[in-house]
Amino acid sequence: MQHRLIATSIPYMNAGPHMGHAMEFIIADIIARYNRASGNDVFFLTGADEHGSKIYNKAKELEKGTLQMLDEHVTLFKELEASLSIIPDDFIRTTDQVRHWPTAQAIWQKLAAKGDIYKKKYSGFYCEGCEVFMPEKDLDAEGNCPIHHKKPTLLEEENHFFQLSKYEYQLKKIISDDTVKIVPEFRKNEILSFLNEGLNDVSFSRSADKMPWGIPVPGDETQVMYVWCDALTNYLSGIGYSFDQEKFNTYYPTYLHVIGKDISRFHAIIYMAMLLSVDMETSKNILVHGFVTSEGEKMSKSLGNVVVPEDVINIYGADALRYFITVGGGGVGEDIDYTQTGFHNLYNSGLVNGLGNIANRTSTLFCKYYPEGTDTNSFVLDSEIEWVISGAYKTYTTSLEVFDLRTGYTAISTLIDLANKYFDEEKPWTIKDDPEKLRNVLLNLVEILYHINILVAPFLPQTAEKMREIFSLTDSKLASFFIDPSFWLTQANTTIKLVTVPLLFEKK
């Protein structure tokens, strides 16, 4: 058993959640569930980034107290997580003055003690939307932020800076040799390319009179922490850095960060450099995901193409959205394009006609002919079916260990296709006069369905719970969806009894 901290980036709380947040939560949750089902001790962390001028100004615009607005937004994020069957082990808020502030301030003091914090006057272009200072080379041809399409504000003030440039060589080394493994490979290459351009030191604080909503800089009441030492240290405070040393020692270093491509530099470069500075072990893996686009365009209110996660969930269910995020795009880290037609067709083909169909057909026919169950005496699993199931486990585990969720789900699809094909070819409803053959065919189908149930659980947890009801037996592996490729249901049980359940998916 390994202890593994799996963490999402913490969303910025200037508004409610969008489809990109749902995407990140789903990806991290699937990996966390897979690791638990594989026998690992997982601590799954999410949270909220709640400081900064944009949040402070947004609250003033809404004529609300800043913390009141933040509480409302945090509630929306927690409700989205719950609706997607995502239950983190902790949800760390950067406004938490008991757990998070002491951690951020302790890390600041260690950085300062190392000589990596200094103060200087600075003039630069500041994008409030990104809440970062942007070099002119990063602006578009019109001098705008390429993300928010607005001109950054030219700011001049005296701030504390972190000596990021000092760690350029070490960062290149630990990323090149996969000490910090960045997935997918092309995102790793982007980070290395950025490093090869050379690093500048980064502003680490803001004037308290210009950004009053933040964590005070230790020893300098005129300054508040900028986002780097404030928000990025959530991965430490979330596992008890300043208040629970035993928990911290258990789960540190971070096994996996799940982050969006727009903030990959911050995690892979600035946060890793901070850890190097304070002589802490760096994170093991960084999974960089893409965006959810809409009809080929980036979602934006101005274009009117925003897809609200709750709207999709209300129509199709949470597992349908989880399925779309898993298989709806290309390879690891690629964008996923949402269209109503594409989502609808994917739902009906993969879930209604695929998984739902074989679960319903198998359980219904089994219960029709064996309402009280049947014994497994002398039953031998079809060798080809055994071979395909064993191969599916290998593909599944190999893929999920490298965070390739789409290929991992393909292994489940192989079993779903196998079961549907076997059902159609054997036509069990036509062989009721040959009871031995009928029993063998149905037990083969039950065995496949059982393994589908186990493997699909990290991806479609609500569906897996419904499927589990089909198997009216007490089985510890099924109870926990424990992944064990050496386990065979029809060998471990002398009697098999199923029950019928409502359709897993309604056709839309």
Domain spans, the chain: 3-290, 339-496
Catalytic sites, residue numbers? 18, 21, 127, 130, 145, 148, 298, 301
- pLDDT digits 0-9 by tens, 150-167: 777 777 788 999 999 999
Per-residue confidence (pLDDT) for residue 453, from 0 to 100? 97
- Over pLDDT 70: what percentage of the chain? 97
pTM given for the model: 0.94
Lowest average pLDDT, out of 47-51, 291-295, 314-318, goes to: 291-295
Confidence of residue 307 (pLDDT cuts 50, 70, 90): confident
Distance CA 324, CA 310 (A): 14
Element holding 361 (H helix, E strand)? helix 357-369
How confident is the model over 202-235, as pLDDT tens digits? 999 999 988 889 999 999 999 999 999 999 999 9
Tell whether omega for the bond before 184 is within 30 degrees of 0, i.e. cis. yes
Least confident of 35-49, 74-88, 143-157, 280-294: 143-157
CA atoms within 13 A on the CB side of 379: 28
CATH of domain 3-290: 3.40.50.620
Q: What CATH number belongs to 339-496?
A: 1.10.730.10
Rounded Cα distance between 20 and 262, Å, is 11
Using one digit for the tens of pLDDT, what is the confidence trace for 357-393?
Answer: 999 999 999 999 999 999 999 999 999 999 999 999 9
Between the CA atoms of 481, 482, 487 and 488, what dihedral angle is there, to the nearest 10 degrees? 0
Whether 47 contacts 32, CB under 8 Å: no
For residue range 329-344, list pLDDT tens digits in order.
888 999 999 999 999 9
Cα 448 from Cα 5, distance rounded (Å):
32
pLDDT of residue 144: 82
